[in-house]
Amino acid sequence: MNTTHKPLVYVVEDSLSSGALYCSQLQKAGFDTQHFVDGYSALVAIKAKMPAVLVQDVCLPDISGLEVLKYVNKQEVAAKVIIITSNSSIDVAVDAMRLGGYDFIEKPFTSERLITSVTNAIKQQNQDLKTVEVEPTATSLDRINFIGESLSMHTVFRLLESAARSKASVFVTGESGTGKEVCALGLHQASAREQGPFIAINCAAIPAELFESEFFGHVKGAFSGALTDRKGAVEVANGGTLFLDEICEMQLNLQAKLLRFLQTGTFCKVGSSEVLQSDVRIVCATNRNPAEEVGEGRFREDLYYRLNVIPVVLPALRERGEDILLLAHHILKAKTTENNKQFENFSDEVKQTFMQYDWPGNIRELQNVIENIVVIYDGQSVQPDMLPSNFGHNVVNQAQYSPHNQMAQTNISTMASTPLRSQASTPEQSSAPNNIIQLWIVEKNAIEDAISQCGGNIPLAAAYLGISASTIYRKMKSWAEN
């Protein structure tokens, strides 16, 4: 490598031996380095020449590492800052990430972990500089298909823009259907990791006994049925982003293993003692309140703080005002093209209905409603009679069930208060006070009614219900087992 093209890395570490070691490791990897033993010396050097990357201990003998970070981020062209921390200062490291740090690594760490972090920081730095030079008014999220003009969404966009330039873990919360996976994919595509893989895992959909294998992989013979070696999501996502959906569904023993991986960047496959390494950016999501889960003892507090470096709260669709119509027009255009139809707009009555409805299923429900219309009807404008029956009314007060009610999207009180097929009650039902029907029977009756009205067409029934066909098949299997 030509010396003039070597990226410059400043190492700020008060330990002479540790600092010399980090510099030596980085120099072997092709970087130019300078070592500083205190924060003020580093600030003087930064004022003279800004490095590409600053690797600094969060605890310095003279000033706080956070002060150095704040100064760097105020400069027109700022270095990427990687924080070195110990277990005792993990909370300070999290604060540093929220202030704009790129990454943090915990002592003790391997040379591979250090070099990987610095290399990725250089990639992100180069991408940021390229964006400034080519499109000074554009943001890295302009390429991502985010739709929204509401104040709440502008707040989300600002958070995502900052998070995209970092490797910090992002914790996305929001109701089901608000677009948490779209948010995670957008972060990936707007980051320096966009050329790497984006791997999504639904923590609620994987059986607990298989989760460790899905996550870390296994070797042949590790357990019954392990006929070949298999890579896990952590290994496949190396160099990219790992999205953990419904993270609060993960069992506590698995949470401990995830925490260790996040701390060290290392893991072992099931059935193997070989230590492997993977560099991934973690984005996780839940529709629960994670702080409450921590308080109830269902989610590890240390893992929560490790993941919740950049919290992003996605607003419900009903809170987004005119965004409802913006999204509706976007979805209508996409579904019309997919199905080779002629729809162009919505009637004023439909627009008013959309704005008045509270959308319990959020964007996912809006997509289902519009796709339902586009598939079944023809025309240029969506009219009120094309909407699913009873759509837009207070379903809690409905006396009769219709599959168009988007059963899976309504809340539990709605389903429990709707007298579905009470004449088909089981012995368990008849003994309940006030003729209360068990919830699983309400759901079973609703799905069976929908399938019957659709002539046995399960995919079509699923579309009316606002759920996937696989969900129906899974529930039918569980009914048979009962």
Amino acid at 348: D
For the chain, give every domain's residue range. Answer: 3-134, 151-315, 322-481
Q: Which H/E stretch holds residue 35?
A: strand 32-36
∠336-342-346 over CA atoms, to 5°?
80
Q: Which CATH number fits domain 322-481: 2.60.40.1220, 3.40.1350.10, 1.10.10.10, 1.10.8.60?
A: 1.10.8.60
Q: How far apart are CA 465 and CA 95, in angstroms?
A: 44
Q: How far apart are CA 346 and CA 355, in angstroms?
A: 12
The residue assigned the tokens 């993941």 is 307
- CA-based nearest residue to 258, from 180, 185, 203: 203
Tokens of 250: 């993960």
Tokens of 360: 């319990």
Report DSSP state, residue 64: B
Tokens of 266: 């290392």
8 A C-beta contact, residue 422 and residue 437: yes
Do the domains 322-481 and 3-134 match in fold?
A: no
∠175-444-403 over CA atoms, to 5°?
65
- CA-based nearest residue to 195, from 164, 236, 240: 240
| Length of the chain in terms of residues written | 482
The CB density around residue 114, as the number of other CB atoms within 10 Å, is: 21
Q: How far apart are CA 37 and CA 303, in angstroms?
A: 31
Print pLDDT tens along the chain (482 aa): 444 578 999 999 988 999 999 999 999 999 999 999 988 889 989 988 999 999 998 888 888 888 888 889 888 888 999 988 876 666 777 778 778 888 888 888 888 889 988 988 888 877 766 554 434 334 455 545 578 888 888 888 888 887 887 888 999 999 999 999 999 998 898 888 888 999 999 998 888 888 899 999 999 998 888 889 999 999 999 989 999 999 999 989 889 999 989 888 889 999 999 999 898 999 999 999 998 899 999 999 989 988 998 899 999 999 999 999 999 999 999 999 999 999 999 999 999 999 988 999 999 999 999 999 999 999 999 999 999 876 765 433 333 333 333 333 333 233 333 333 333 334 444 455 566 777 888 888 888 888 888 777 776 677 677 676 667 777 887 777 66
CATH fold for the domain made of 3-134: Rossmann fold (3.40.50)
Report how far apart, in Å, the C-alpha atoms of 239 and of each of 45, 116, 261, 299, 347 are: 31, 9, 15, 27, 47
Give the pLDDT confidence score for residue 284 in this predicted structure. Answer: 96
8 A C-beta contact, residue 420 and residue 450: no
Q: Quote the distance between the C-alpha of residue 235 and its chain's center.
A: 18
- CA-based nearest residue to 307, from 171, 104, 180: 171
Give the pLDDT confidence score for residue 95 in this predicted structure. Answer: 79
The domain 151-315: what is its CATH number? 3.40.50.300
Give the pLDDT confidence score for residue 123 in this predicted structure. Answer: 83
Do you find a cis peptide bond into 108, omega within 30 degrees of 0? yes
Give the pLDDT confidence score for residue 156 in this predicted structure. Answer: 86
Q: Which H/E stretch holds residue 85?
A: strand 80-85
- For 307, the 3-state DSSP assignment is helix
